[in-house]
Amino acid sequence: MTERERYIAVLRHEKPDRIPFQPGYGRKSTRERWHKEGLPAGVDPVAYVRQQLGIPPATTQKIVEPGVDFLMIPQFEEKVIDRRPGTLVVQDWKGNICEISAEFDVTYLRQAIDFVTRSWLKCPVESRADWPDMARRYDVNDPARFPQDFADRCRQLAQRDYPSGLVLSGPFWQLREWCGFEGLCMLLLDDPDFVREMIGTWQKFVTRLLTKTFAQYKPDYVVINEDMAYKEKPMIGPDMCREFLVPCWREWAAVCRDAIFEVDSDGHVGSLIPVWIEAGFICNSPQEVAAGNDLPAYSRQFGKRMAYRGGVDKRAMAKGGPAIRAEMARLQPAIAAGGYIPSCDHGVPNDVSWPNFVEYSKLLANATGWI
């Protein structure tokens, strides 16, 4: 089987020859540590581990990205507004005014270069008066939504042997980006009609852009980023999800019915999984263990109604030895049950040493049928 066939088969609860080997990736500070501990300079860590373990490359093809743009057009100017002792006040590309450590710069808020703590000082939509300027930035007919060579990319992607798909913001995530978390929570109580208006705009924009995309390119997966849970509880409860979010999710699920429709959310998601199943999601990630998620229990409870990616405790990776061996043994029933691609339950943090990452990768390769 190809890596693409394996990926689809696992997450649709079918029977692949092996489970995709996806240990997870470290961000900048993690890779810097690894290069000091044995990872050769300029080498992709997962490709290197695969080579050391005798696992063939996931693909020999050149990876082609579809290049569809779901982000705001135009974006805000990235700039430093103020320099304070040890920190910077910056405006990011989304229009947020944030304070970050001076060891970083504003580009760290554009991509997940490293783990960056920030304080939000101002959000781009703090009242109804701010909304028209934001709404205008989501014109589905803007020619920049698709790359000029999109048709050629689609022809190449039609021959792929690797999984390919789309990743975009869900309604809760997107409104939180516009209004801030506290601002959104207050609006849900104080001005629910305004919340519905913003969700409706985002829902319609994404539906139309997905429909235009699917006409030429058939993604294997569509991941909806929807971080909406704390360590013990969701940020909003199941009833509020059903009222405000499920109609949007269901509409997108109908468009994405031929793809793996996945929801990504950090935090404890146990009470949200039934709602996600109702809405049409068939996969969930990253299943953070520190938040109290019990993936083997979810696997037993929800059976083939939900698949998973992630779920390996990064804290056990950092400890190595008996801790990571016990962690992989804990997950073995879920791996054996199917519908699960084990991987780190978030980005691999910099307290995971290179030797411990290699040890974990060997255990993972064995659990997924590669060695």
Distance in angstroms (rounded) separating the CA atoms of residues 351 and 178: 33
Identify which of 213, 212, 204, 208 has the alpha carbon closest to the alpha carbon of residue 174.
204
The DSSP 8-state label assigned to residue 63 in this structure reads: P
The answer, yes or no, to whether residue 200 has pLDDT greater than 90, is: yes
Fold adopted by 3-72+127-367: TIM Barrel (3.20.20)
Pairing of the two strands 307-312 and 283-285? parallel
The DSSP 8-state label assigned to residue 270 in this structure reads: T
Beta bridge partners of 348: 26
In this prediction, residue 112 has a pLDDT band, given cuts at 50, 70 and 90, of: confident
Within the chain, all domains assigned CATH 3.20.20.210 are found at: 3-72+127-367
Give residue 114's pLDDT: 87
**Tens of pLDDT along 17-38?**
999 999 999 999 999 999 999 9
Write the DSSP string, 202-249. HHHHHHHHHHHHHTT---SEEEEE---B-SSSBSS-HHHHHHHTHHHH
The DSSP 8-state label assigned to residue 364 in this structure reads: H
**Tens of pLDDT along 141-165?**
999 999 999 999 999 999 999 999 9
Over residues 78-90, the mean pLDDT reads: 97
| Averaged pLDDT of the chain | 97
The answer, yes or no, to whether residue 277 has pLDDT greater than 90, is: yes
